[in-house]
Amino acid sequence: MTDIIWYETIDSTNDQAKRILPELGPATVLAAVRQTAGRGQRGNVWKSEPGSNLTFSLVLKFGTGLMTEIAANCQFVISEAVALGITDFLGTENISARIKWPNDIYVDDRKICGILIENSICAGHMASSIAGAGLNLNQKEFPGDIPNPVSLSILTGKEYDCRKVLGQVMECISGRMEQVYKCPESLRGAYLSLMYRKDEKHRYTDCATGQEFCGIIRGISDSALLQVEMPDGRIREYAFKEIGYIIA
């Protein structure tokens, strides 16, 4: 059973998780009404209207309780489980979401959820994983510097209770975590089937050269690198921060 700790105000649930990690059990969720220094991928600041959205971190400690050890080279299964769990929840609201590699959640070309996974490795195995997520629930207006945001309320016209939604989201993530241990191959298959832009031609930026190119996402490698078919037909693999999506 996952323990849930709510904070009225916190700098970052991921940072708080790191501070109190030794005190936590095998699976704990830290959630906040308001984050003052939430973080996203690439070091970006996660901006969220206080009380309008769901901001939380799932903290897993492996080799304790029911959390069996996971090899370090399999750590991407946590990203898959969390991203798929959130898309599963959105599906219960009749929202067809896609996973923008490695683990942001998009509806069409609009971002509804950001996920930041921070893993700790020891002796070839995962010691812990902190999966922070910011799910846009009720926010209607966003700062102009946030690219292509959308909220669940904008899409459905309904208002949501953050605490209730957290319980629903965690049920979905727990179901996907069972797949991590029982059938990781099916987890990978589900992830691939929901990849944003998979098998479609779009424009990207090579972050090393700054050059734009047309490519087709074909999947991910065993080590979770993004596999892109280049204009000349060859498959190139990109690590995180090596490729940028061009979204109009």
pLDDT band at 144 (very low <50, low <70, confident <90, very high): confident
CA dist., res. 144 & res. 140, Å (int):
13
CA atoms within 13 A on the CB side of 40: 17
Angle 166-60-136 (CA atoms, 0-180°, nearest 5)?
Answer: 30
Domain residue ranges of the chain, discontinuous segments joined by +: 3-193, 201-245
pTM, rounded to two decimals: 0.93
Residues contacting 126, CB < 8 A, separation 6+ = 62, 69, 70, 71, 72, 75, 78, 119, 120
pLDDT digits (tens, 9 = 90+) for 185-217: 999 999 999 999 999 999 999 999 999 999 999
Q: Which CATH number fits domain 3-193: 3.40.50.2000, 3.30.930.10, 3.40.50.1980, 3.40.50.300?
A: 3.30.930.10
- CATH of 201-245, picked from 3.40.720, 2.60.40, 3.30.460, 2.30.30, is 2.30.30
Q: Is 80 exceeded by the pLDDT of residue 5?
A: yes
pLDDT of residue 68: 84
DSSP class of residue 233 equals S
DSSP three-state, residue 13: helix
Return the structure tokens found at 219: 């999947």
Write the CB contacts of 157 (distance below 8 Å, at least 6 apart in sequence): none
d(CA 204, CA 223) in angstroms, rounded, equals 21
pLDDT in tens, 64-118: 766 788 999 999 999 999 999 999 999 999 999 999 999 999 999 999 999 999 9
